[in-house]
Amino acid sequence: MTSPRSHRVPPALGLGALLACAPAWAGEDVAHEPETPETPEHGVDAHAARHEAIEADERYAKEHPNVLAVRVLSSAVYDADGPRGRWGLGAVWERELVPRWLELELGVNGLAGRQDGTLAMDLLLKKPIPLAPSWELHTGVGGTIAAVWPYDRTELEPRGEEVGGLPLLEGGLVGTFGFFAWPGRHVGLLVEVNGKLLWGEEGLIGETEIAGGIAFRF
């Protein structure tokens, strides 16, 4: 009678068969897992999105080359009588002549102070400096002319000048530096600092202006 112990598989034989089959199983698993090379897709997508946004902004600017802004102004005037202040309102129309390179600006400002009131007109050529699709610096130079109405004309009489109702005229140069912020495509914000050098009845006159307002693109 054969002993039950004689039908058992030797432990060494079973372990060897398992190890022999292991490489085949491992190979099958590896074969079903294709290698995926790492690519900087996120950086490429971000660069492409930024380039597309800039191109879209350029197309929009070509289709809407005009900007109309309404602003509040504060100015300081420096002449022979010393510094004095003025406050007022102004409007600016801007036209893009060469996209992202050259703009034409026409501004009209009405200001009043304790001694006089003035109505000024500025004409400038400006260079835009785009920082982002919704942010833009600009700088420019041009000419300005102003009509000034003094409240008290008695001081003009000793100089032999007419003291009628006609305004005094001033003219000169103007420079500007400012920026636009466009939270939306059609509506934005404007901040500017302007410097003027004028020649008028009082001689050489300097003036600085700080302006801020809301702009509309169309």
Which CATH code fits 65-217? Answer: 2.40.160.20
Question: Is the pLDDT score of 5 beyond 70?
Answer: no
pLDDT at 15: 47
Q: pLDDT: is 51 or 123 the higher one?
A: 123
Most confident of 16-25, 153-162, 197-206: 197-206
HEC sequence for the chain: CCCHHHHCCCHHHHHHHHHHHHHHHHHHHHHCCCCCCCCCHHHHHHHHHHHHHHHHHHHHHHHCCEEEEEEEEEEEEEECCEEEEEEEEEEEEEEEEECCCEEEEEEEEEEECCCEEEEEEEEEEEEEEEEECCEEEEEEEEEEEEEEEECCCHHHHHHCCCCCCCCEEEEEEEEEEEEEECCCCCEEEEEEEEEEEEEECCEEEEEEEEEEEEEEEC
**Least-confidence region, from 69-73, 177-181, 200-204:** 200-204
Domain boundaries, the chain: 65-217
pLDDT at 35: 54
Q: pLDDT: is 63 or 17 the higher one?
A: 63
Asked whether the whole model's pTM tops 0.85, one would answer no
pLDDT at 1: 46
Mean pLDDT across the stretch 189-196? 98
Mean pLDDT across the stretch 188-194? 97
